Structure 1
Amino acid sequence: MTEQAYPSIILLNVLGVAGIVVWHLQGRTRPTERLIAQIVFFLAMSVTLVFAKINPFRFDAPHIDSDGTLVVSAKILWWTHMAWASIGFVRLYMVLDGRPREARLIQDLLVAVVYLGVFLSVMAFVFGVPIGTLLATSGVVAIILGLALQNTLGDVFSGVALTLGRPYVIGDWILLSDGTEGRIVASNWRSTHILTATHNLVVLPNSVLAKQSLTNVSKPDENHQITLSISIAPHKRPKFVIDIMHEALNNCNGIVHEPPPTAALVGISGAAIELQLQFRVTGPAQRIIARNEVIDLVYQHCNSNGLTLAKPVAMQIVEGLDTLEPRSISTERLLDSAPLLTGLTAEERAILAAAAIRRDMAAGSTIIAKGEKAKSLLVIRSGTVILKDDGVEITRLAPGDYLGARSLLNGEAELYEAEALTRVTFFQIEQPDLERLIASRPSIVDDLTPPIERTTEHTG
């Protein structure tokens, strides 16, 4: 080494050590500043190498003296900073690509490749180790390790394949062909962690997950369809049954109404009209809530329109078809099924039924305006009523629900506008008739809670 190159060698070692110190002082919390420092030190060391006329890609047998040791350390430091700068660029690309968490496996793989390449380069260009012989020896070792770690390596490469294919990301809700269903909460080289709806953590090896068909419920969004099968006794025309099912679905507050839910006929026989109700929910957490509400509303609409749920065929054979006679629709039976009138006795419901007057309103009609005081109690017999506040839908009322209780019991104006979504039939009970019933049993006031208080609690 010439005397002119000696200062450059000293500078190379100083820059290399200083870069390591700065790299550790900046820490992991400042990745951008860390990357800039890595690039600056690497470029400075590269320029110094050029001035010192040292080729890091060629092995030169060093002299056994302090000068030779400084050259070796300078090359090692340069290769180390090149590795850090390359890894910094890899991580920066992952962040700018907008998927740092999903690409963690790829990032780790690239980092490992960089470190392995730098290690082999140092062994070859700094210490003169014959890489060909080393690779041949390591190949035999790799075969032995591969056989011993076959399952683990299968999980690792399956994890890489799943990461590259991106069938899901952290936070997605997936459904597997073996019935496992839940939200992805973690993914690593070895396995994927799924949090199920029962709040259990399922840990699946990546090789097992890669072999199954997978449905990503979260793509394009978590809005997805549910199918519910219904059997109705064949005493009404199928079109009438379909219309009633549509009314029940339109009444539901827990499902998505755009696109609209549908009811489809799938079969008919002397025992039943078979239907499938198809509706969408906003996410997996809404499935049970929406299904319960749909079933409740189907029962309520069938009850108020004279439809009978079909019994299983085996039970019909035993009991005889005479048990499938259609039930008559009466005001008293409707009041008996009204959710908010369940506290009334049979005699009290009979009094209300006798005083009830049937009324019909066309779709789009305003039943009660916001701020208006109702003069009678309106019990919905059929159809769907929407409660609105300044044009914004608040909730939907079904057969058995009623309007006007706030005005009649408290003398207050109605808080919401009641509009008929479909053709609506209701029973009108005048205030004097209701007051006579309240006088005979004052506790009925507690049972006649205005429906909006129940529905806003339900929807809120």
Structure 2
Amino acid sequence: MAEYNLWVILLDVLGVAGIIVWHLQGRSRPTGRLIAQIAFFAAMTGSLIFAQVNPFHFDAAQADNDGTLIVSAKILWWTHMAWATIGFLRLYIVLDGRPHEARLIQDLLVALVYLGVFLSVMAFVFGVPIGTLLATSGVVAIILGLALQNTLGDVFSGIALTLGRPYVIGDWIVLGDGTEGRIVASNWRSTYIFTSMHNLVVLPNSVLAKQGLTNVSKPDENHQMMLPISIVPTKRPKFVINILHEALNNCNGIVHEPPPTASLVGLNGAALELELQFRVRGPAQRAIARNEVIDLVYQHCSANGLMLAKPLGAPMSGSVEATNSQPSAVERLFESAPLLAGLTAEERGFLATSARFGDAIAGATIIAKGEKSRQLIFIGSGVVTLMDGSEEITRLAPGDYLGARSILRDEPEFHEAKALTRVTFFQIEKDALKRLFSERSEIAEDFLCRMNEARTMRANGGVPVVSDHARADLIRTIRSAFGSA
């Protein structure tokens, strides 16, 4: 009997020690925690065998003789078995790579394990008739089910969504009612959607399960966009499509594989109807990409003499002007060039008359890396790409410029400028700029401010904003180079 009690006492000691070690391990070490649980559970099982205690059988005589020791030993053994089982379940779910979306299933399995252990303790430790208990609990469950039917609907809808996996945490979804955003959390009752309006939408799982949804993140977050456009039919449709393809290829904020397209939709006497189709890297980039596409379509159309058509039914604003009163291509270009926006009409006209025309075929190098350009070059049409070795830095559109570092600072160019398509451009010699700076010295600072603004808008250019001290030094350098006061 003494040996028998010794094994029971050892069993109780192991159970208490296992609880202490279980808490000391903490949640941050699930593998170590599971190993400790298995080790203590195995040691307790061995002690049960040597003590000749059957945890799956209620023995009233045995409980009366040994009292608290047997009861506590059985309770501790069942508790450790529950923890070891739960440790296996949680470790499997983590190793399966689904810790977030499997949280509901994990909580459900844990609840079932604890419920099974509780019923086992009541039956095999205290001798409670489980049949009667289950019958009583069934009535209680019916009452609770009727009272909590909405909550239970959310719970089971959450389980169904988890098993079906129409989305995972982090996916961007669009619901049938127009709600869209990124899934940031999901629990037993609700799913949390963070929208592009910077709002958090809490949607009951039962409501979400009844709606149709589009998962924008599957198979990836590339998002197709369409933009209708109408052009006055003064040019051949093929020419218009080529210009719009150049505008799309000029965009840095869209996906170029698969390539964007411009397709004809219709033609009438008032307009050539087209549709631009392109992809963005994710739903959050839609507004940025759309703004860039619209801006570049306007630039390329303006540079190539294309006019945007008015909506049907809009009144005509006067008669068409004579051809000889229309501005030339270089005048239209300089009017829309951001760098020259601070000049007066007379100053832009002076540069237009002094500019020399040039062109380059696709693939030709306009300015090599490390070269000092002798002209300030404005792109007239086509697409120019800036390259750093084999890496593309950014793409330039009509109205953008090349050679400013060489002309204004007398320093070699950082990047190679290559023609991605056939490119036309206009070159302005240093003497023409020197004359402008000598007549109005503040043009140098205006040029510098606009250059810095253009650089910061090129997200992939990697050129930082110039500090006030560096700006002052640069202005002095420009004025010194051009002999201005």
Does structure 1 conserve the Cα–Cα contact (< 8 Å) formed by 2:229 and 2:275? yes
1:138 corresponds in structure 2 to 137
Q: Secondary structure at the match of 2:54?
A: coil
Whether 1:98 aligns to 2:97 is yes
Does structure 1 conserve the Cα–Cα contact (< 8 Å) formed by 2:305 and 2:329? no
Whether 1:437 aligns to 2:436 is yes
Q: Secondary structure at the match of 1:91?
A: helix
Does structure 2 conserve the Cα–Cα contact (< 8 Å) formed by 1:386 and 1:395? yes
Q: Deviations over 1:411-460 (max 9, x none)?
A: 33222221111101112233333333333223333344498755432224
Does structure 2 conserve the Cα–Cα contact (< 8 Å) formed by 1:403 and 1:451? no
Q: How far apart are the structure 2 equivalents of 1:213 and 1:361?
A: 52
Shift in Å, 1:140: 1.5
- Structure 1 gaps of 5+ residues are none
Q: How far apart are the structure 2 equivalents of 1:49 and 1:11?
A: 10
Comparing 381-390 with 407-416, greater Cα deviation is found at 407-416
- Aligned positions of 1:386-405 closer than 5 A: 386-405=385-404
Equivalent AA in structure 2 for residue 247 of structure 1? E
Residue correspondences, number: 457
Equivalent AA in structure 1 for residue 278 of structure 2? F
Q: Deviations over 1:109-145 (max 9, x none)?
A: 1010001011111122222222122212211211111
Does structure 2 conserve the Cα–Cα contact (< 8 Å) formed by 1:159 and 1:189? yes
Equivalent AA in structure 2 for residue 269 of structure 1? N
2:231 corresponds in structure 1 to 232
Q: How far apart are the structure 2 equivalents of 1:387 and 1:393?
A: 6
Shift in Å, 1:89: 0.9
Comparing 371-380 with 439-448, greater Cα deviation is found at 439-448
Q: How far apart are the structure 2 equivalents of 1:64 and 1:339?
A: 92
1:128 corresponds in structure 2 to 127
Shift in Å, 1:154: 0.8
Does structure 2 conserve the Cα–Cα contact (< 8 Å) formed by 1:405 and 1:448? no
Q: Deviations over 1:167-188 (max 9, x none)?
A: 2222222222222222222111
2:352 corresponds in structure 1 to 353
Does structure 2 conserve the Cα–Cα contact (< 8 Å) formed by 1:308 and 1:324? no
RMSD, aligned α-carbons: 2.4
Q: Deviations over 1:7-52 (max 9, x none)?
A: 3223222222222232233333333222222111111121222222
Shift in Å, 1:321: 9.7
Equivalent AA in structure 1 for residue 138 of structure 2? G
Q: How far apart are the structure 1 equivalents of 2:316 and 2:451?
A: 42
Comparing 442-451 with 167-176, greater Cα deviation is found at 442-451
2:286 corresponds in structure 1 to 287
Q: Deviations over 1:45-98 (max 9, x none)?
A: 212222222222222223574514432222222111111111111111112112
Q: How far apart are the structure 1 equivalents of 2:191 and 2:321?
A: 53
- Aligned positions of 1:269-284 closer than 5 A: 269-284=268-283
Comparing 3-12 with 306-315, greater Cα deviation is found at 3-12
Shift in Å, 1:333: 1.8
Q: How far apart are the structure 2 equivalents of 1:31 and 1:300?
A: 59
Shift in Å, 1:268: 2.3
Q: Secondary structure at the match of 1:153?
A: helix
2:477 corresponds in structure 1 to none
Q: Deviations over 1:355-383 (max 9, x none)?
A: 22322211111111222222223221111
Q: How far apart are the structure 2 equivalents of 1:25 and 1:431?
A: 76
Equivalent AA in structure 2 for residue 226 of structure 1? M
Shift in Å, 1:405: 2.8
2:374 corresponds in structure 1 to 375
Equivalent AA in structure 2 for residue 405 of structure 1? A
Q: How far apart are the structure 1 equivalents of 2:295 and 2:119?
A: 70
Shift in Å, 1:398: 0.8
2:249 corresponds in structure 1 to 250
Shift in Å, 1:159: 1.1
Shift in Å, 1:259: 2.2
Q: 1:319 aligns with which of 292, 316, 322?
A: 316
Q: Secondary structure at the match of 2:191?
A: strand
Comparing 179-188 with 305-314, greater Cα deviation is found at 179-188
Q: How far apart are the structure 1 equivalents of 2:63 and 2:90?
A: 40
Q: How far apart are the structure 2 equivalents of 1:43 and 1:104?
A: 28
Does structure 2 conserve the Cα–Cα contact (< 8 Å) formed by 1:91 and 1:107? yes
Q: Secondary structure at the match of 1:62?
A: helix
Whether 1:108 aligns to 2:107 is yes
Q: Secondary structure at the match of 1:313?
A: coil
2:35 corresponds in structure 1 to 36
Q: How far apart are the structure 2 equivalents of 1:147 and 1:9?
A: 46
Equivalent AA in structure 2 for residue 225 of structure 1? Q
Classify 1:65/1:199 alpha carbon distance in 2 versus 1 (closer, same or farther; 3 Å).
Answer: same
Comparing 331-340 with 423-432, greater Cα deviation is found at 423-432
Classify 1:446/1:30 alpha carbon distance in 2 versus 1 (closer, same or farther; 3 Å).
Answer: same
Does structure 2 conserve the Cα–Cα contact (< 8 Å) formed by 1:401 and 1:451? no
Identical aligned pairs, as a percentage? 72
